Amino acid sequence: MSLRFFALFLLFLSSCVETTRHRLPGVVMKTEAVEVVTSWKVLEKGGVVGRVLKVRLPQAADKEPFFLVQWPNGSPVGRIDGKGRAYRYEPFKKGLVLVGMDSLEEDVKVLLELGELPTLEREPKGVARPATAPKMSKTRQGRLRK
């Protein structure tokens, strides 16, 4: 008797659950193609823990290259601009979050949350996979330049 009651209870409970999807106003993540200038494998204790791509946005006004930091599977972690400022992509916050401002190796360490300074091993030209970067609005780009 109790097993039947439990099965009916689970059936009733699942019929009461409703899933809805909400979008935050003003937060739209679009991607844009980037040109890979050069790339490095990020090594820690002999294993590959990520990649760093020096990229340029072909359609950007300033054409200044920046560094895109990726996990080993190619998903983006953050970016480092030409002045050494490291920004992490935060999915539930607007845009990029400043996490450090140091050397390239130190910024990569912070972005990938590594225990020690990583070794960057340059990859041969053309090895880097085509990449995309989350697109920032023009107002957000203006705030980051200040």
Predicted confidence (pLDDT) per residue in 86-131, tens digit: 999 887 777 788 898 989 999 999 999 999 999 999 988 766 654 4
Average pLDDT, the chain: 77
Q: Tell whether 18 is covered by a domain.
A: no
Cβ atoms of 118 and 30 closer than 8 Å? no
Assess whether pLDDT exceeds 50 at residue 144: no
Structure tokens at 77: 């972690």
Cβ atoms of 109 and 97 closer than 8 Å? no
The runs of H, that is alpha helices, within the chain are 2-16, 104-112, 138-145
Highest mean pLDDT among 34-38, 101-105, 142-146: 101-105
The CB-based long-range contact list for 7-10 (8 Å cut-off, 24+ gap) reads none
- Enclosing domain of residue 97: 31-136
Cβ atoms of 76 and 133 closer than 8 Å? yes
Q: Tell whether 95 is covered by a domain.
A: yes
pLDDT of residue 140: 46
Number of domains in the chain: 1
pTM: 0.64
